[in-house]
Chains A and B, each alone.
Chain A
Amino acid sequence: MKYSIMVNEGPYTHQASDTALHFCKAALDAGYEIFRVFFYHDGVNNGTRYTVPPQDDRNIQKEWSKLAEAHEIDLVICIAAAQRRGIMDADEAKRQGLDGDNIAPGFRISGLGQLIEGGIIADRQLVFGD
């Protein structure tokens, strides 16, 4: 079973990022594949490496990066949603004349076509949001 996941809510907002993470881990434990996670709307805030939660709290951004590295999951951030919220990779930051980038390891910036492709390629597409 191949999954495409969509996350529409930022970390520490309500529960969608946590639920999506738990779901992905359980699917991987069951031997299924997470093909792609697409972050849209406030969900793009999962992908800034400048997230610094208190030490005794979970670090949701790092959890995504770790999961992506361990299981070769494609973490895609929507470019239009990212630009509105100041999530930049080096190329975008340069193009916008900004003084730095903040995208987290394992994440990449792309467009809605990646969401559609995920839905076509995967057996199931699940949406987590508020």
Chain B
Amino acid sequence: MSTLHTVNKSPFERDSLSSCIRLAAKGHSILLIEDGALGAMAGTDHSDMVAGVMKDVSVYVLGPDLAARGMSEDRIIDGIQVVDYSGFVELTAKHDTCQSWL
């Protein structure tokens, strides 16, 4: 059973991203949406935590939410994949279940 986790809050505001990373199992994926997109930024206090989980878990970020926050794709952590809404849909189809970290 693989799970897609969505995180919609900035790691600077809530601890939902760190909780998600702690509990995500090998083969799961994490999609950063809304303010959660800020968790994809390289060079922050949270970047090492995000980069650390990527050996077991694929991390994605929703491109339109990055753009809405003025963040260019060249400022995100290496290995994080940018998807659009159709990519979001395909991620939900590819995994067995979806867990929203609200």
A interface residues, Cβ below 8 angstroms from B: 1, 3, 8, 14-16, 19, 22-23, 25-27, 29-30, 32, 124-130
B19 on the A face (CB < 8 A):
no
Q: A-B contact count, CB below 8 Å?
A: 48
Stretch in contact with the other chain, from B21-29, B44-52, B86-94: B86-94
Other-chain residue from B6, B89, B102 in contact with A26 (beta carbon distance below 8 A): B89
Contacts of A23 in B (CB 8 A): 85, 88-89
Beta-carbon nearest neighbor of B33 in chain A: A19
Decide: B86 and A26 in contact? CB cutoff 8 A: yes
What are 5 A-B contacts with C-beta separation under 8 Å?
Answer: A16-B8, A22-B64, A30-B89, A125-B98, A126-B100
Q: Which 3 A-B pairs have the closest CB atoms?
A: A26-B85, A127-B100, A15-B34
Interface of A is mostly: mixed
A15 to B100, CA, bound (A): 14
**A-contacting residues, B19-72, CB 8 Å:** 33-35, 64-65
Decide: B100 and A124 in contact? CB cutoff 8 A: no
Other-chain residue from A14, A32, A127 in contact with B34 (beta carbon distance below 8 A): A14
Known contacts A19-B33, A22-B85; A30 and B90 CB within 8 A of each other: yes
Other-chain residue from B8, B33, B86 in contact with A30 (beta carbon distance below 8 A): B86
Decide: A124 and B98 in contact? CB cutoff 8 A: yes
Contacts of A8 in B (CB 8 A): 102
B97 on the A face (CB < 8 A):
yes
Beta-carbon nearest neighbor of B62 in chain A: A19
Beta-carbon nearest neighbor of B84 in chain A: A26
Known contacts A1-B93, A15-B8, A15-B34; A126 and B102 CB within 8 A of each other: no
Decide: B97 and A124 in contact? CB cutoff 8 A: yes
Other-chain residue from B90, B98, B102 in contact with A130 (beta carbon distance below 8 A): B102
Instruction: Report the minimum CB–CB distance from B24 to chain A (whole Å).
Output: 17
Contacts of B93 in A (CB 8 A): 1, 32, 124
Q: Known pairs A23-B89, A30-B89, A127-B102; list 19 more (Cβ under 8 Å).
A: A1-B92, A1-B93, A8-B102, A14-B34, A15-B34, A15-B35, A19-B34, A22-B85, A23-B85, A25-B85, A26-B85, A26-B88, A27-B89, A29-B86, A32-B93, A125-B98, A126-B92, A127-B98, A129-B100
